[in-house]
Amino acid sequence: MTTYQCSACYFPYNEAEGLPDEGIAPGTKWEDVPADWVCPECGNGKAHFNPAPDSAD
């Protein structure tokens, strides 16, 4: 599974771990994260996230 990272604050979203506190279950693929979800650290939207450099599918 892939980890995505916010381009502003580097907050990671790990598909394997999800974000249970945000209502996103472990194993949720990035494309299945709601379009209106925002970074819990800085408030940027999904468009500001990119695959992390050390991430592997």
Residue 13 in domain = yes
Over residues 3-57, the pLDDT tens digits come to 999 999 999 999 999 999 999 999 999 999 999 999 999 999 999 999 998 765 5
Residue 57 lies in a domain: no
Number of structural domains found in the chain:
1
Beta strands in the chain (DSSP E): 3-6, 12-14, 49-51
- pLDDT on residue 48: 97
Alpha-carbon distances, residue 4 vs 1, 16, 30 (angstroms) = 10, 11, 8
Decide: 13 and 7 in contact? Cβ < 8 Å.
no
**Would residue 56 count as lying in a domain?**
no
Instruction: Look up the CATH number of the domain holding residue 18.
Output: 2.20.28.10
Per-residue model confidence (pLDDT) at position 17? 98
Helix (H, G, I), strand (E, B) or coil at 36: coil
